[in-house]
A and B are shown apart, each in its own frame.
Chain A
Amino acid sequence: MTPTDIDKVFRDEAGRALATLIRLVGDFDLAEDALQDAFAVALERWSVCELPGNPRAWLVNVARNKAIDRVRRQAAFRGKQQALLHELELNAQAPAEPPAMLDDDMLRLIFTCCHPAFASEVQVALTLRTVCGLSTAQVARAFLVSEDAMGQRLVRAKQKIRLAGIPYEVPEPDALAPRLDGVLAVIYLVFTEGYVATSGADLMRPDLAAEAIRLARLLDRLMPDRAAIKGLLALMLLHDARRAGRETAAGDIVLLEEQDRSLWDRAQIEEGSRLVDDALRMPGRPQPYVVQAAIAALHARAPSYGQTDWPQIAGLYEVLVRINPSPVIELNHAAAISMVDGPARALDLVDATAARGGLDGYELLPAVRADLLRRLGRKQEARDAYAAATAATQLEPLRRLYARRVREMGD
């Protein structure tokens, strides 16, 4: 095998091998170091002979022996390490574990990295490093911080797992739903980070959107009976399928109404739509990710902006406003209403929501008002709103878009 092939095997197996090792050796750092040792052995061995039948089992086995060596090498054996060594050696003699146990290891790792005792950016960093197997340097680039700073953050997080007694387990059934929401929030954060960041010039920057989709697929396979997971996976697939049409080569935003729909990834849209259907058929209360994905599917499958099923989209936003209210949802609801009942009705809705304080501090509010005023032909008010929208954003592409709108309106 070539080093590139071996690298791919490492990349595919690292997360799952690490998940099992952590359970076997009971320590994040020891497991990581031992797995690195095993990679070094594999790199040597696999380049001259064939890949073993089950590379992950091979890696776990070699790494476990390396972990035993590492603990043995530590000069003074003290009570705790003696016990650990004993346990490790006992484990090493145990027969191979059933695959279900190994699936649980991966869930254990995901739930531990996304533990609510960590700040959300720490959850994201830990997940990218240990579950996705990104290097510390790659995670640092994703957060736009130095490798040293990210290394420190990861070390502190792993120390907290050990010292504060964060258990390496899948939450009990009565705690599972809120903890799963936390995991999904982390995956979505990874995705949106990648989604916004695709305009970056740094080619070395990891494709976070792809990582997020990979994570959601894995989670869906491990917990197939959860509508929220299917919904999130569908939502990300559907957004990602439209990636190619969203931006000009110069980095300008292309609005949905102007996008070339032939650039969209049809196969991915079909996959996302099937997942939405599956999720909608599952019992239980409507899940926000499923409803959002259903809206994304309607957009993605519409032949054109004008021929989009706006009444159904408006209805789905009404459901979202009820189960998961937020300024973004309120404004998107108003935008959908503008396509069904006209911009005047939508403007009333936006102004009524703003008057209730529901949109306070939300920076896209002037932009949405500007668009509605422009469509109503109220040019001076629209110009004022575009000026406010321009002042409210830091993003150059958005500023250029507003300037273009003002130019197109004429005097």
Chain B
Amino acid sequence: MQYLLMIYQNEAEYAKIDTGTSQKMSAEYEAFTQSIVRNGNFKAGDRLRPTTTATTVRVRDGKTLTTDGPFAETREQLGGYYLIEAKDLNAAIEIAARIPSARIGSIEVRPIWVYDK
């Protein structure tokens, strides 16, 4: 099965961490990504720019409306994702728990909707 692992953490707090910690985090992310590539679980993954760069788009009555910022103001913000292939939810949870941000933020695990052919 495929799962999207969405990485949520508090941007404002994460922006305040020192260079050493941030470098260590990057190294951990690199090692984690390589491990899931090696195990054949990795499908895709990216880090996102902060929500200060976000634009939310709606179309109402044929008119495109844009607003500055994310769809919802929440305590933690979507900061990145992995798309993985895993045997079942247990395997997906095990991988999600190894994402470095799981220790400071949270990871939402969602199965990908598959349409019957």
Contact = CB atoms under 8 A, between A and B. Distances in A.
Contact of B89 (A78, A79, A165): A165
Interface in B70-117: 86-90, 92-93, 109, 111, 116-117
Q: Most A CB atoms within 10 A — which of B86, B90, B109? A: B90
A165 B93 CA distance: 11
A46 B90 CA distance: 42
Contacts of B109: 164
A323 interface: no
B66 to A, nearest CB: 33
Interface string B25-57: 000000000000000000000000000000000
Interface residues of A, number: 12
B90 A78 contact: no
A79 B117 contact: yes
Interface in A78-130: 78-80, 115, 117
Nearest to B110: A164
A170 to B, nearest CB: 11
A165 B88 CA distance: 5
Interface string A164-180: 11110001000100000
A166 B93 CA distance: 10
A163 interface: yes
Contact of B116 (A78, A115, A163, A164): A78
Nearest to A81: B116
Interface residues of B, number: 13
B12 interface: no
Contacts of B116: 78-80
Given A163-B111, A165-B1, A117 B89 contact: yes
A166 B88 contact: yes
B88 A117 contact: no
Contacts of B89: 115, 117, 164-167
B75 to A, nearest CB: 20
A404 to B, nearest CB: 47
Interface in A155-193: 163-167, 171, 175
A382 to B, nearest CB: 44
Contacts of A115: 89
A167 B88 contact: yes
A166 B3 CA distance: 12
B68 to A, nearest CB: 34
B112 to A, nearest CB: 10
Contacts of A166: 88-90
Contacts of B117: 78-79
Nearest to A162: B111
A175 B111 contact: no
Nearest to A172: B90
A183 to B, nearest CB: 15
B111 A164 contact: yes
Contacts of A164: 89, 109, 111
Among B1, B88, B92: residue with most chain A CB under 10 A: B88
Contacts of A171: 90
Interface string A208-241: 0000000000000000000000000000000000
Contacts of B86: 165
B117 to A, nearest CB: 6
A179 B88 CA distance: 16
Contacts of A163: 111
A164 B110 CA distance: 7
B64 to A, nearest CB: 33
Given A78-B116, A165-B88, A117 B93 contact: yes
A79 B90 CA distance: 26
A165 B89 CA distance: 5
Contacts of B90: 166-167, 171, 175
Nearest to A168: B88
25 contacts: A78-B116, A78-B117, A79-B116, A79-B117, A115-B89, A117-B89, A163-B111, A164-B109, A164-B111, A165-B1, A165-B3, A165-B86, A165-B87, A165-B89, A165-B92, A165-B111, A166-B88, A166-B89, A166-B90, A167-B87, A167-B88, A167-B89, A167-B90, A171-B90, A175-B90
Given A117-B93, A165-B92, A167-B87, 20 more contacts: A78-B116, A78-B117, A79-B116, A79-B117, A80-B116, A115-B89, A117-B89, A163-B111, A165-B1, A165-B87, A165-B88, A165-B89, A165-B111, A166-B88, A166-B89, A167-B88, A167-B89, A167-B90, A171-B90, A175-B90
8 A-B pairs closest in CB distance: A167-B88, A165-B88, A165-B1, A165-B89, A166-B89, A164-B111, A164-B89, A163-B111
